[in-house]
Structure 1
Amino acid sequence: MSKPKDFTTTIQYISRDPLYQVEKAYSADFVPDNGETPLNHIFDLQPIHVKDIVSPQEFELDVHGFCLLKAKTMLSAEDALTNQSSVEMDYINEIEALLYLKFPEYKRIEAMNFIVRNRDARYPSTEEAVVTHEQPAGIPHADFSREGGLMQLDYAFPGQLEYLKDKDYDLLNVWRPLTGPNDDWPLAVCDWRSVQEDDIILNDDLHRTRLGENSLLHPNPAHKWYYLSSQMPEDVFIFRNTDSTGKRARCFHAAVYNPESRSEPRRSAEVRVVAIR
């Protein structure tokens, strides 16, 4: 067994600033017409130690908020990056089949979206730039809060909210690199057991045509962060963003700078699904 490749880096938490006692955190993917800033985030850059996952089988979705599976798919990096729309449904079908096999408790699984990321060599940068794909998300977050999950379901499945809102469901993300071995800006996941309730701050996720809500993290030295070194495309992270009860383990996650990486810029694919029990 090879030696674990832990590393120390920094991560941009949301500060425990008094501002958030009087104003809700928000971020927008556009510049508001009224000239307001597109976000009110006050960051608190903190060091973290990221542990290499040596025994993936030790991590469970319902305990840690994430798990790892071995699963090959037919999706190639070239097709994902240059011909995404033509391969999307086949890939989604593969992911849904994988989840049905691994989690028989789910009676129905429906994909909400499919995202391909290709890190630009300039990332991270504060300068505006035109890029071909979405970039890594470097702020610790869960993609949806409990209320934000309902907003996402209403957006992804128009007219179905009355049916879905009374169901018992999880909103999951299935994430993997498209090329490997990858150590460049790897996905780091936080053990749910190390997160306290007052570490979590709700954030309005603003788009021009709709409103969402996700969850961000305040710093806490108790947080336990993990990643998988030399991750290959068949190494698949599955993690929970939220659920209908608001009581299950979920996963705060972020792309983190790995000072030891010698990999090419990270390319990754993820599918977000609603999984109904």
Structure 2
Amino acid sequence: MNQLVSFQYLVHLPIYSYERPYYIFNNVPEGTPSGNLKSVHGPEQLVEDARGSEKDFDLDVQGFIFESRPLPPDIDWNSKEAIEQKYIPSVKAVLRDVLGDVQHCESFDWRIRHAAAAQVLREPDPKTNPDARTTRISPAFNVHVDQTPLGVLDRMRQIYGHEADSLAAMYRVRLINIWRPLVEVVEDLPLALCDARSASLDDLLEVSFVDHGYTRHNFMAKHSPDFRFFYLGKMRREEVCVFKVFDSQDNVAKRVLHGAFESKLASPGSAPRESIEVRLLVLSGG
């Protein structure tokens, strides 16, 4: 069912005319601000329910699709090894089936989100926390894109080293997120996705997050009344959403803004949302 909801957006502050939006998680000198980000809830916007019209979506048009895919059995979601040995291969199989032409496919990040987890910008550090990967983090409420083009190139250099630049020139590069519920049915805090055709680079602010000796570059959205949002009502754990974070090819959907929202249709006592997302770097067409 369609809903009117209020999304969380980054405020376009005057300071951004001469200073990039940023947040530093490490200790900073006394008197130095840790960041310059300010978020606000925008006016209510329509979120359309894609249930019943799942086949109308295309990865190169809207930038996202919904697929029915069985969940591999007997996975211990508190075990990093079990997830990486049993679940990640199934995700790569989905991706190869959906995309067809896949020369290289690398899973470089995965996270489990839970509605009851604390809302934080900082992600757990595997170097200091052995259980970082399975530590639940909150759903992301700010409308955002997980990586900028610069962030994608940084990831490629982490994975492929000195070959990254030549591979980027040789192949079509895509960064894909595959999102799946871990509860039977999602009613609480579903995921909304924005039709890529309804957003432009002018709607985005590039944000730098400095942490663990590494700077990651994300896009966060300013409010726009032109955004067209969709979600899959009562999404089940046997369903996945596949959406783009980046695509180097021209004349196709490049990226998908997304974020969680508070559903007005959640049943009293419905299970808190729990979900897993896997980010994959894909090279095609070499």
For normalisation by structure 1, the TM-score amounts to: 0.87
Match of 1:33 among 28, 32, 35: 28
Matched with 1:254 is 259
Match of 2:238 among 234, 240, 243: 234
Q: CA deviation at 1:119?
A: 2.2
Q: CA deviation at 1:52?
A: 0.8
Matched with 1:94 is 90
Code of the aligned partner of 1:254: G
Matched with 2:76 is 79
Q: In structure 1, how many angstroms separate the alpha carbons of the residues matched to 2:73 and 2:191?
A: 20
Q: In structure 1, how many angstroms separate the alpha carbons of the residues matched to 2:107 and 2:12?
A: 35
RMSD: 2.2
Q: CA deviation at 1:156?
A: 4.0
- Equivalent position SS for 1:62: coil
Q: In structure 2, how many angstroms separate the alpha carbons of the residues matched to 1:137 and 1:75?
A: 27
Q: In structure 2, how many angstroms separate the alpha carbons of the residues matched to 1:111 and 1:246?
A: 24
Q: List per-residue Cα deviations over 1:137-174 (Å, max 9, x = no partner).
A: 11111101111111122234445424433232100000
Match of 2:186 among 182, 185, 207: 182
Q: List per-residue Cα deviations over 1:1-30 (Å, max 9, x = no partner).
A: xxxx222221111123222111111134x2
**Does the 8 Å CA contact 1:25/1:40 hold for their aligned counterparts?**
yes
Match of 2:155 among 136, 149, 152: 152
Matched with 1:110 is 106
User: Is structure 2 residue 67 aligned with structure 1 residue 69?
Assistant: yes
**Does the 8 Å CA contact 1:75/1:87 hold for their aligned counterparts?**
no
> Against the structure 1 CA distance between its residues 261 and 99, is the aligned structure 2 distance closer, same or farther, given a 3 Å change threshold?
same
Matched with 2:131 is none
Structure 1 stretches lacking a partner, 5+ long: none
- Equivalent position SS for 1:117: strand
Q: List per-residue Cα deviations over 1:184-211 (Å, max 9, x = no partner).
A: 1111100111113311111112212111
- Equivalent position SS for 2:61: helix
Code of the aligned partner of 1:183: E
Matched with 2:283 is 276
Q: CA deviation at 1:232?
A: 0.4
> Against the structure 1 CA distance between its residues 137 and 150, is the aligned structure 2 distance closer, same or farther, given a 3 Å change threshold?
same
> Against the structure 1 CA distance between its residues 212 and 247, is the aligned structure 2 distance closer, same or farther, given a 3 Å change threshold?
farther
**Does the 8 Å CA contact 1:185/1:257 hold for their aligned counterparts?**
yes
Identity %: 26
Name the count of aligned residue pairs. 265
Code of the aligned partner of 1:176: R
Q: In structure 2, how many angstroms separate the alpha carbons of the residues matched to 1:6 and 1:103?
A: 29
Task: Trace 1:7-46 onto structure 2 (pairs within 5 A).
Answer: 7-28=3-24, 30-35=25-30, 36-46=32-42
